[in-house]
Structure formats: C-alpha cells, structure tokens
C-alpha cells in the first residue's frame, strides 16, 4: 500500500523526512513543472540574482512537458521526463528551496548528491504512462514563460499521483540498493 503525502497546505517537513528510498507514495498537492528550457531560465535567473516569477521555496517540481489538453480535458498526456537531463540545474533549484523533484530514470553522482546536500527527495513516476498519469491532475495553468509552449512553467494540482522514492534525504538510492540486492540473489 502506498503512503499518502498531501501538501496542499505546504510540504510537511515530517512527511519528507519520513520517506525512505523504495517507498511507494501517492502525492496530492500543487507542483511546478520543469523541463530543459524552463530549468535553464530559472537557473539563469537564480545565478544572476534576478527575481523569479514564482517562489521555489518549499515546492515540488515535476519534470514533465505536458501535451495540450483536448476539449473537455484538464491537460493532455503528462508523463515524466528523464531527470538526469536536468542534473546540471538540480543543485541550483534545490538550493533555492525546492523540496522534491518528480521525474523518471536513475540519478547517480552529483545529480543524486544534490538531493542529500539540500535535504530534498527524488521521486520517480513510471514513464510511458502519460495518459494515465494525466488523470491524477485536477488543475493546470501556465504561471510563467508561456513562450516555451509545453516547456513553460505550469502549476499542476496532483491527486493521489503514484510515485516511488528513489533518492531519500539520507542519500539512499533505490536503484543502487535494489541492484545490489538483485546481484546477491
């Protein structure tokens, strides 16, 4: 059974601290989206000391480039994108107060270390399920960078969005520990 993490009133420190690599979770609350172009703009603004269009403090970001909504839909397909592509931006984003990133794929080295150093968590959602995952999104709006199209900065509201903790605050990495267990079998 998945643990429920509801942060509609703010990301609970106790909830993040109690997560362990390998935990299944259902996430409920607002997230900001993150893609290559929006990550680059945000990182550039932070590094230049420029104001951001939204605060990142205490936020969860979802590495996704949603497709346009069809009539009657809140959003189109919204599956995760590969987090490792965003590794160079992770230390900057996490040091700006981002509490967690949702994406897909493995993270190692500096990408994974950025989570431990900032006390943040890396969640993975299952790739290839964008149409199904979009059903767990109850609202979507562009909050910045509309010129970037699907890479704009959206705010999405998740409801019981399924994910797995990959890197926890202590630095445990589910991919690495699972691989080590499988090698012993």
Architecture of domain 3-184: Alpha-Beta Barrel (3.20)
pLDDT confidence of residue 101: 97
The answer to whether residues 6 and 28 touch, using CB atoms and an 8 Å cutoff, is yes
Max Cα separation, the chain?
52
One DSSP character per residue, 78-124 reads --B-BGGGGGGGHHHHHHTT--EEEEBS---HHHHHHHHHHT-EEEE
Whether residue 29 contacts residue 6, with contact meaning beta carbons closer than 8 Å, is answered with yes
Rounded Cα distance between 143 and 7, Å, is 19
Which residues of the chain register pLDDT less than 70?
1-2, 5-15, 185
Q: In the prediction, which pLDDT does 184 show?
A: 73
**What integer pLDDT is reported at residue 109 of this predicted model?**
87
Residues 113-167 have pLDDT tens digits of 999 999 999 999 998 889 999 999 999 999 999 999 999 999 999 999 999 999 9
Give pTM, 2 decimals: 0.92
pLDDT the model gives residue 177: 73
C-alpha–C-alpha distance, residues 40 and 145, integer Å: 11
């Amino acid at each position: 059974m998945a643990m429920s993490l509801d942060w509609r009133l703010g990301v609970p420190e106790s909830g993040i601290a109690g997560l362990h690599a390998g935990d299944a979770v259902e996430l409920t609350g607002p997230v900001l989206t993150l893609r290559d172009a929006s990550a680059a703009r945000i990182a550039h603004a932070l590094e230049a000391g420029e104001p951001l269009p939204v605060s990142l403090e205490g936020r969860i970001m979802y590495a996704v480039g949603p497709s346009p909504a069809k009539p009657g839909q809140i959003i189109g397909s919204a599956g995760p994108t590969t987090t490792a592509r965003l590794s160079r931006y992770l230390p900057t984003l996490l040091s700006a107060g981002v509490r967690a990133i949702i994406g897909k794929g493995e993270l190692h080295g500096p990408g994974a270390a950025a989570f431990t150093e900032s006390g943040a968590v890396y969640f993975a959602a299952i790739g290839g399920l964008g149409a199904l995952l979009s059903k767990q999104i109850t609202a979507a709006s562009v909050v910045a960078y509309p010129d970037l199209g699907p890479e704009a900065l959206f705010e999405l509201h998740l409801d019981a969005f399924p994910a797995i903790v990959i890197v926890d605050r202590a630095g445990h990495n589910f991919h690495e520990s699972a691989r080590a267990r499988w090698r012993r079998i």
